[in-house]
Structure 1
Amino acid sequence: MNSRQQIILQTVIDKGQMSVADLAHMTGVSEVTIRQDLNTLEKQSYLRRTHGFAVPLDSDDVETRMMSNYTVKRALADFASSLVSPGETVFIENGSSNALLARKLGERRDITIITVSSYIAHLLKESQCDVILLGGIYQKKSESMVGPLTRQYIQQVHFSKAFIGIDGWQQETGFTGRDMMRTDVVNAVLEKGIEAIVLTDSSKFGVMHPYTLGPVERFQRVITDEKLSSEVHQQLRQADLIVDIVKPGITA
């Protein structure tokens, strides 16, 4: 990593996101050079590129994360929506793929969505479906409800399926999250014994974070994309999980 790339990375981390144009102006080089730098930093897993922007790997902003791998995440959401039956009530957790799923399901009148994400609730303000937003402590950065009150609300409502986002998976740890409070909310959902479905792009596999989601036996299904490695695919199957591999237009 050269000195300019170090400056770019630190600026992106400090600001949360930076446009290619702003980075070019700040460093005094062309946008072409900045794009090359961002490609290098992304390949080395220092940051992620979205449409015209660079963001830190661990950005909590749902809107920013939704634009990363948008086409893939939309395909995942479209497939996940096909698993929801008429008249069903489902829980949709926080996260970018889950937000796209909620938007897709919002086109239907015949379902009810329960969520802890104020972002998802706002996304569905003009939707056809019924929406229940559970209360709790408002975690501003992630736009999500967390804490003991949220746990109590989860215990008092009923749903048949839950779509869960994850931050990491390794065979030794199972599914993991990087935020303790949001992980606790997911575990409250899993304790209800409903059908739990992981909805995530393949970049989360092979990564480990501090907080356990699970145990893995409480999950039934994983929906992810074709970049999932064959090794991880086998690990998930060995854990008795149904694995749906999705890419735009094709499901396997």
Structure 2
Amino acid sequence: MKVIEDNRKLTDAFDDLYLAERRRAIVELVQTQGRVAVAELSQRFGVSEVTIRADLQALAEQKLLVRTHGGAVRMDNDLGEMALALRRQRQVKEKSRIGQAGAERIEEGDAVFLDSSSTSLAIAHHLKRHRYVTVVTNSLEVVHELFDAPGVDVVLVGGVLQRETASFVGAHGLEEIARLNLQKGFFGAHGVDLLAGLTDVSPDEAAVKRPIAALCRQVIAVLDATKWGRVGVASFASLDQVSVIITDAGAPGEMVAAVRARGVEVAIV
């Protein structure tokens, strides 16, 4: 038994050594190349993509790199890509649950709008197996996420590329969008407030969301608990326009009750 135990300890020591060497090599690659992809690292080191994702997450927690969708970037990389990466790292578990709950509300035959928020991106992730759904979006990230979803048709709202959010603003072509019957619109926000409604920190983003929210039969806000009571510079939907708010258990009970009293469904996931 002692021999088996000693062998196990030796194996664990080698595993720890290889783990440390692999992660050090990953950091060096990120520093040299500026960015790395999960698939590339998996092939290079001969380990699974699950293992690489765990490596990248551990390194991100040590502030040695920044996680992105499908890989990682150097800490001092392009500010636009950094902004996207940092948004995705906030409230990750909550946004995933909210995204799943949002996707479950989308039915076969629906045409829906997904904005450029990280929570709408989480909805897109959970739409991969849906069929006969049309997604209208101004987000390049949502388009990328749905690229391998054969049952989902994607319509991109045109405009001027805003690199910080990888989205198009200006909402060119709204006349064409207005011809679609948008059953549901899913909107992230900087915050929700009883008076200001749904707000954004970007007036350009709000200018896209405002007319599209008016076109949707249902406006569904997808907000983690940190967004309650916050007010951004530009409102894009009043609370009276909102049908549903999907949020997590950390949402403040008193404000949730006040919103429900206004006739808005609040779904806590």
Q: Same fold (TM over 0.5)?
A: yes
Pair member with larger Rg: 2
Change in 2 beyond 3 A, CA 1:148/1:101: closer
Shift in Å, 1:231: 1.1
What do residues 66-102 of structure 1 show as CA deviations (whole Å, max 9, x unaligned)? 2222111111111111111112111111111110101
**One of 156, 165, 170 as aligned partner of 1:142:** 165
- TM-score where L is the length of structure 1: 0.71
State the distance in 1 between where 2:259 and 2:192 align. 10
SS of residue in 2 equivalent to 1:120: helix
Q: Percent same amino acid at aligned positions?
A: 23
**One of 86, 90, 93 as aligned partner of 1:71:** 93
State the distance in 1 between where 2:260 and 2:221 align. 14
State the distance in 2 between where 1:81 and 1:177 align. 23
**One of 115, 124, 128 as aligned partner of 1:93:** 115
Give the AA of the match of 2:219: A
Change in 2 beyond 3 A, CA 1:60/1:242: farther
- Contact kept? 1:86, 1:111, Cα under 8 Å: yes
SS of residue in 2 equivalent to 1:220: strand
SS of residue in 2 equivalent to 1:105: coil
1:28 equivalent in structure 2: none
- Contact kept? 1:97, 1:199, Cα under 8 Å: yes
State the distance in 2 between where 1:60 and 1:230 align. 33
SS of residue in 1 equivalent to 2:254: helix
Instruction: Indicate the larger mover: 147-156 or 221-230.
Output: 147-156
2:197 equivalent in structure 1: 174
What do residues 204-231 of structure 1 show as CA deviations (whole Å, max 9, x unaligned)? 1111111112222111110000000111
SS of residue in 1 equivalent to 2:136: strand
- Contact kept? 2:119, 2:223, Cα under 8 Å: yes
Shift in Å, 1:187: 0.6
SS of residue in 2 equivalent to 1:197: strand
Which runs of no fewer than 5 residues in structure 2 stay unpaired?
Answer: 1-58, 65-74, 76-80
CA root-mean-square deviation: 2.2
State the distance in 2 between where 1:105 and 1:244 align. 19
Which runs of no fewer than 5 residues in structure 1 stay unpaired?
Answer: 1-17, 24-52, 54-58, 247-252
Shift in Å, 1:118: 0.8
2:255 equivalent in structure 1: 232
2:125 equivalent in structure 1: 103
Change in 2 beyond 3 A, CA 1:20/1:173: same
State the distance in 2 between where 1:195 and 1:107 align. 23
- Contact kept? 1:112, 1:131, Cα under 8 Å: yes
**Is residue 188 from structure 1 mapped to residue 211 from structure 2 by the alignment?**
yes
What do residues 95-153 of structure 1 show as CA deviations (whole Å, max 9, x unaligned)? 11110101111222321111110111012111222111121111111111111515444
Give the AA of the match of 2:217: I
- Contact kept? 2:246, 2:266, Cα under 8 Å: yes
Change in 2 beyond 3 A, CA 1:97/1:195: same
Give the AA of the match of 2:84: V
- Contact kept? 2:182, 2:215, Cα under 8 Å: no
- TM-score where L is the length of structure 2: 0.67
